[in-house]
Amino acid sequence: MDAIAPLLSGLSAFALYFLLSLIALMLFKLVYTLITPHDEWKLVKDKNTAAACALSGTIIGFAIALGSAASNSISLVDFGVWALVALIAQLVAYLIVRLFMPKISRRIEADEVPAGLVLGATSIAIGILNAASMTY
């Protein structure tokens, strides 16, 4: 029982960070889908592969950065600040792709898979860079 006590003491912190991460992920999905001109969820439900690639990459990119924020934060407030930074970075990723592909939303709506892949891959790359930058 003495060996289990330290493991159980960390369980509450795990549960709290995990719950906050899930909330941040849902909040991110909401904010991101409000920012983009196309309705990702509707497109994905309509079997649009380009939208699925783009949204999946964006969620993965955010989750990578969020994981780094959780593992490197020193408090829940610190975690919240870095989660917000991660959210902003993912919005910037969308704006970067839009800068080079101004018709990205129309192309995703038209189910042009290459456009969805570029947006998804850029979002993952930004998430990795963001996560690496959070290690201090």
Per-residue pLDDT tens digits for 69-87: 999 889 999 999 999 999 9
Give tens-digit pLDDT for 11-29.
Answer: 888 889 999 999 999 999 9
Number of helices (H), then strands (E), belonging to the chain: the values are 6, 0
Whole-structure pTM value: 0.89
CA separation for the pair 86, 91 (Å, rounded): 9
Mean pLDDT calculated for residue range 54-82: 94
Token pair 């289990």: residue: 4
Structural tokens at position 38: 């196309």
Buried b (16+ CB within 10 A) or exposed e, 21-32: beebbeebbeeb
User: With 80 as the cut, is the pLDDT of residue 135 above it?
Assistant: no
24 Cβ neighbours under 8 A, 6+ residues apart: 66, 83, 87
Amino acid present at 98: R
Q: Are 109 and 47 in contact (CB under 8 A)?
A: no
Residue 48 vs residues 23, 51, 68, 83, 113: alpha-carbon distances, Å: 26, 6, 31, 29, 9
CA dihedral 54, 55, 60, 65 (to 10 degrees): 100
Task: Check whether 6 has a pLDDT greater than 90.
Answer: no
| Predicted local confidence at residue 13, as pLDDT | 83
